[in-house]
Chain A
Amino acid sequence: MRDLFWKLLEPEHPKAEAFCRKLMRNREEGDDLYQDALLLALRNFGSLKDHESFRPWLYRIIVNGYKSRFRRPWWRRHATLTPKLEETRSTGDPDGQLTARRWLERAFEGLTPEESTLVTLFELEEWNTAELARLYRISEGAVRARLFRSRRKMRQTIDRFISQNETSNRIKEADYALPRGETSSE
């Protein structure tokens, strides 16, 4: 039984682990989440009747683990982004990846844990709406509606941030330093 569990997990492992790290925005905490999810999954593997559903089942456990850790809005625990910002400026960020990360952290501030997991899977892990519907046990229409809502929330969060800070001159041009170019429509 255990062998079967590991066999089913092996192809999922790299992506599932990366997903946990992205969710937690931190490698160590992500690995912690992943390990807890695997323990839970392993112990309860016997109750999974349909092995075809291994993937959504595993991700559901991860998402639940994430939600139960972060019932409190996670941005309260990441309250201070300013030190990181300074650090970035001094060390340079040629690919704009730190900048990108920072903007995304801000954008995610407005989302619930559920929405964070959804957006991460859709935007960064390339899950399609059918897969997401299966994971969250909702219709594809509901997935699209949630994505729509989440995007709007993210934009509004960033919009608010920019208008607050531009008036007080707290952000400089450099903060927008993201690679431009191939960003045509989706």
Chain B
Amino acid sequence: MRCHEAKRLLNEGDINNRELVKHLNDCSDCAREAKAAGLIHRSLDSLRQQDQPTPTPFADIRARVESHPAANTRKESSRMAELTHKLTARKKLSFGLGLAMAALLFFTLVPFSYDRVVGYDLEISGIEPGNMINIDPVIMGMTGLGYDNISISTNYSSTETSVWITGLPHEKAAQEASAVFATLTGLEGKSEYTPKVEAVSGSLYAQVKENLFSVEITVSGETPEEMKASVEAQLESMGMTGGEAVVTQDGDQMQIEITIPGSDE
């Protein structure tokens, strides 16, 4: 038996396979991995047999959640869209030794519809009139770069020729398209790209579902300014334009308040 096969059996938990046992006697590398596998296996078994801690009585959890301020803000919020509401009263993250800082996260959420950038359009204008443009090499060139959903349209007038390239997934694609066009046609023009925005109406659930709502925060070694910039950049990248993060530090407590501007629901 080869190491490759041995590792596959280990992964499947087939640790008593006779061929495997034989291999383990000869191969210290796999033997160590088998020891690790055994430890994990037995640890999982042991925890499975452990008694489950008593669950919180259902009535208690219901009362606790129902009486939480965050559970009762929905109705007002749709009436007063500009009012901000704290969704989660307090999210406390505790950190282990060596990181004596606790970060409090306040997510201030308002029902809103947010704009999501779904792609970019590129316009190349001001091309010398009189040239018929062969767009096929441009399409081939872009396909070669992995952009296979683009389309190109041309507009000829007596004073200038312009070209639209649509279906570009991101800014970099727009820049590449501009370069590809210039290289393959030898024509020069003024390139301008615009984001194509799609309005998404925002239930919070939709954002959670789409995983839009996780913001990564580095707690150590970042100044409040850096943290603010990083959070805002992330919001922006999630299509939440105008999101604002306010970071305040008070002793060893850091508070981050994130506000996303509301529009009507």
Which A residues form the contact surface with B (CB < 8 A)?
2, 6, 10, 13-14, 17-18, 21, 27, 29, 31-32, 34-36, 38-40, 42-44, 47-48, 60-61, 64, 67-69, 71-72, 76-80, 95-97, 99-101, 103-104, 107, 123-124, 148, 151-152, 154-159, 162-163, 176, 178-180, 182-186
Of the candidates A68, A72, A152, A179, the one whose C-beta lies within 8 Å of that of B219 is A72
Of the candidates A18, A48, A60, the one whose C-beta lies within 8 Å of that of B53 is A18
Q: Are A158 and B61 in contact (CB under 8 A)?
A: no
* Contact of B99 with A by CB under 8 A: yes
Complex: chain B residue closest to A43, CB-CB: B74
Q: List 22 interface pairs A-B (beta carbons < 8 Å), by A numbering.
A: A13-B55, A18-B53, A34-B61, A39-B71, A39-B88, A42-B65, A44-B203, A47-B206, A72-B216, A80-B97, A96-B42, A99-B46, A100-B46, A123-B48, A155-B33, A157-B36, A158-B39, A178-B46, A179-B42, A179-B45, A184-B16, A186-B41
A31 CB to nearest chain B CB (Å):
7
Name the segment of B7-15, B137-145, B172-180, B240-248 touching the other chain: B7-15
Residues in B neighbouring A17, C-beta threshold 8 A: 55-56, 61
Q: Are A44 and B204 in contact (CB under 8 A)?
A: yes
Residues in A neighbouring B55, C-beta threshold 8 A: 13-14, 17-18
A181 CB to nearest chain B CB (Å):
9
Of the candidates A14, A64, A97, A154, the one whose C-beta lies within 8 Å of that of B214 is A64
Instruction: Give the docked Cα–Cα distance between A36 and B16 (Å).
Output: 44
Which B residues form the contact surface with A (CB < 8 A)?
7, 10-17, 32-33, 35-48, 50, 52-53, 55-56, 58, 61-62, 64-66, 68, 70-71, 73-74, 87-88, 91-99, 203-206, 208-209, 211, 213-219
Q: Are A159 and B56 in contact (CB under 8 A)?
A: no
Instruction: Give the docked Cα–Cα distance between A2 and B75 (Å).
Output: 13
Q: Are B205 and A162 in contact (CB under 8 A)?
A: no
Instruction: Give the docked Cα–Cα distance between A86 and B48 (Å).
Output: 24
Q: Sorted from nearest, which 7 A-B pairs have the closest CB atoms?
A: A44-B205, A158-B36, A100-B46, A186-B13, A100-B43, A68-B214, A14-B55
* Given A18-B52, A35-B64, A44-B205, A124:B44 Cβ within 8 A: yes
Residues in B neighbouring A159, C-beta threshold 8 A: 32-33, 35-36
Q: Are A104 and B211 in contact (CB under 8 A)?
A: no
Q: Are B219 and A183 in contact (CB under 8 A)?
A: no
Of the candidates A35, A64, A78, A155, the one whose C-beta lies within 8 Å of that of B37 is A155
How many residue-residue contacts, CB under 8 A, span A and B?
175
Residues in B neighbouring A96, C-beta threshold 8 A: 42, 46
* Given A48-B205, A80-B97, A179-B46, A72:B38 Cβ within 8 A: no
Known pairs A17-B55, A151-B40, A179-B42 / 13 extra A-B pairs, C-beta < 8 Å: A10-B58, A13-B55, A47-B206, A61-B208, A64-B214, A72-B216, A77-B95, A79-B97, A79-B98, A96-B42, A124-B44, A159-B33, A178-B43
Residues in B neighbouring A179, C-beta threshold 8 A: 42, 45-46
A123 CB to nearest chain B CB (Å):
5
Q: Are A151 and B36 in contact (CB under 8 A)?
A: no
Q: Are B10 and A155 in contact (CB under 8 A)?
A: yes
Residues in B neighbouring A158, C-beta threshold 8 A: 36, 39-40
Residues in A neighbouring B214, C-beta threshold 8 A: 64, 67-68, 71
Residues in A neighbouring B71, C-beta threshold 8 A: 39, 42-43
Instruction: Give the docked Cα–Cα distance between A47 and B239 (Å).
Output: 21
Of the candidates A38, A156, A182, the one whose C-beta lies within 8 Å of that of B45 is A182
Interface-central residue, A39, A101, A157, by most chain B CB under 10 Å: A39
Complex: chain B residue closest to A150, CB-CB: B11
* Given A27-B53, A47-B203, A183:B45 Cβ within 8 A: yes
Complex: chain B residue closest to A33, CB-CB: B91
B210 CB to nearest chain A CB (Å):
10
A170 CB to nearest chain B CB (Å):
16
Instruction: Give the docked Cα–Cα distance between A6 and B96 (Å).
Output: 35
Of the candidates B47, B95, B218, the one whose C-beta lies within 8 Å of that of A100 is B47
* Given A79-B97, A80-B96, A38:B208 Cβ within 8 A: no
